[in-house]
Amino acid sequence: MHRPSNITPSNMRSVAVVLIIFIIQGFANQVNEVRPPYTNHAARARYMVHMADWAMLGTISTQSAYQGRPFLNPISICDGTLDNSTGVPYMYASPLDVSMQDVTENNQITLSLSEAELNIDDCHLTKHSDPENPLCSRLVMFGTMEQVSDATELEFVKKAMFSRHPIMASWPEDHKFTFMKMQLTDLWMIDFFGGGVTIDIKDYFKAKP
């Protein structure tokens, strides 16, 4: 089959770039359309947790070089499948990870999320906005990390985690990865001007993301 003479590699690249831009814009528009209003702090928090693929995990370091100091480490998360939000941050972690070694000694953790991860208009690095803009929501979650032990919950978490982070299914068995979850105790958020707010845990779990 012959390619039409008016189609050149340069034209094909241009078309590909345009298509990619449309796809990215479409996703960005979808994210912004389902975003709860800033006045509904609990729903905004649920939305952020459900949409996020990762967060910053904070532990108290047990490593000799950093003993007792806050240790931050990116970690992949999900709160369920895309069509089933639980509000509970789940993780898949190995005991070889230094953060998990910290958790063995002290299972109190902090998770920090930013809407900058979600391609939100208010977070774009432009002369009009920035990830530190109060309109670009920030959520800090306090609680403890525990292993998922219930068989039914474990099956749900495995399905959810591997559907949203498919490469995890191929990670080596000898690293003894384990499904973990965060038991939430406190929530703090900034999503507008005027300072942060504390979100009641009951309101958080009642909210629809």
Question: Is the four-CA dihedral 136, 160, 101, 95 of positive or negative sign?
Answer: negative
**Whether residue 124 sits in one domain with residue 29:** no
Round to whole Å and give the CA distance between 58 and 63: 14
148 with 176, same domain: the answer is yes
Give the C-alpha separation, 189 to 198, whole Å: 7
CATH number at residue 55: 2.30.110.10
Residue 166 and residue 81 share a domain: yes
Flag the least confident range among 11-20, 152-161, 189-198: 11-20
26 and 42 housed in the same domain: no
Q: What is the 3-state secondary structure (H, E, C) of the chain?
A: CCCCCCCCHHHHHHHHHHHHHHHHHHHHHHHHHCCCCCCCHHHHHHHHHHHCCEEEEEEECCCCCCCCCEEEEEEECECCCCCCCCCCCEEEECCCCHHHHHHHHCCEEEEEEEHHHHCCHHHCCECCECCCCCCCCEEEEEEEEEECCCHHHHHHHHHHHHHHCHHHHHCCHHHCCEEEEEEEEEEEEECCCCCCEEECHHHHHHCCC
**CA neighbor of 137 nearest in space, from 61, 188, 93:** 188
What pLDDT is stored for residue 10 in this prediction? 55
159 and 68 belong to one structural domain? yes
Based on the fold, state whether residues 12 and 104 are members of the same structural domain.
no
Choose between 40 and 209: higher pLDDT.
40
Same domain, 109 and 173: yes
Structural domain that includes position 2: 1-33
Q: Are residues 168 and 191 in the same domain?
A: yes
| pLDDT per position as a tens digit, 36-88 | 999 999 999 999 999 999 999 999 999 999 999 999 999 999 999 999 999 99
Distance CA 122, CA 137 (A): 9
Res. 7 pLDDT band, cuts 50 70 90? low
Q: Are residues 29 and 67 in the same domain?
A: no
Do residue 85 and residue 158 come from a single domain?
A: yes
Q: Give the pLDDT score at 194.
A: 95
Residue 36 CA: distances (Å) to CA of 31, 45, 118: 10, 9, 14
Number of domains in the chain: 2
131 and 110 together in one domain: yes
Residue 6, pLDDT > 60, answer no
The confidence score (pLDDT) of residue 69 equals 97
Instruction: List pLDDT tens digits, range 150-180.
Output: 999 999 999 999 999 999 999 999 999 999 9
* Planar angle of CA 99, 80, 146, nearest 5 degrees: 35
42 and 3 within one domain: no
The lowest-confidence range among 62-71, 87-96, 119-128 is 119-128
pLDDT at 17 over 90: no
